[in-house]
Amino acid sequence: MRVSIIFSILLALTISPIAQAEKVETIDGSNCKHGVHKQPKGIFAIHVFCDSALGTNVAVFMDYIGAPLAGKYHLGKRFWQGEEWNYDVTSFSWLRTSQLLLATSGIYGSGKIYKLDLENQTFTVVKDSLEGICLMHLKSVENKNAKVGLTDCETLKEEIIEIAL
C-alpha cells in the first residue's frame, strides 16, 4: 500500500500538464486599462499608459524589490522603458519563466512581437514586422507557441498565424 502511494506521488510530480495556457491581455484602443498590471505570482508589473490617439505605451517595473539592489533594478531605478517594445502595445502575456511577451502595432510602434527577459532587461524579437500589416495581436499563448492575429492595413481583414516562442 505504501509503495503504491509513493509511486502515485512520484508519477504526479513527473507528469507535466498537457496544456499550459497563459492569459493574454488586450490593451489597445477601447480595451486599454490604464494603470498597473501585476505579474501573477511574481515580482514584476507593467504600467499601461492609455495615450488615446498616440497608442498604448508601457513600462516594466519591479513591483517588489525586497533589497536595495536586485540585478539591474534598485530602489531608485525600478522602471525599464525607452526601448522599441514599449510603444503602441496591443496585447501582452506573462510567461511562466519571468518573461513577458508583447505585441506592438505598426502605426506608432514597430509592428513586432517581443519576448522580454525581465530580470536581465534584455529582449528578443520573436516575430518581425510584415509589409502591409498594421496590427499584431496576441490571441493565445500555449505550450511555447503563440497564435497571433495579423490585420491588413488596407482591407482590415485579420489572419491568424502560429509562431514558436
On whether residue 123 sits in a domain, the answer given is yes
On whether residue 8 sits in a domain, the answer given is no
On whether residue 5 sits in a domain, the answer given is no
* CATH code for position 146: 2.40.128
Residues 57-93 have pLDDT tens digits of 999 999 888 777 778 898 889 999 999 999 999 999 9
Count up the domains in the chain and report the number.
Answer: 1
On whether residue 144 sits in a domain, the answer given is yes
On whether residue 111 sits in a domain, the answer given is yes
Across the chain, mean pLDDT equals: 87
On whether residue 7 sits in a domain, the answer given is no
Neighbours of 99 (CB within 10 A): 19
31: left (phi over 0), alpha (psi -120 to 50) or beta: alpha
Question: Which pLDDT does position 133 carry in this prediction?
Answer: 94
Instruction: Compute the average pLDDT of residues 105-110.
Output: 94
Q: 30: which residues sit within 8 A by CB, 6+ positions away?
A: none
Residues 24-45 have pLDDT tens digits of 999 999 999 999 999 998 999 9
DSSP structure string for 111-152 = --EEEEETTTTEEEEEE---TTEEEEEEEEEETTEEEEEEEE
- Where does the pLDDT of residue 116 fall: very low under 50, low under 70, confident under 90, or very high at 90 and above? very high
The reply to whether the predicted model has a pTM over 0.75 is: yes
On whether residue 107 sits in a domain, the answer given is yes
On whether residue 114 sits in a domain, the answer given is yes
Question: Which pLDDT does position 93 carry in this prediction?
Answer: 97
Provide the domain limits for residue 74. Answer: 19-164
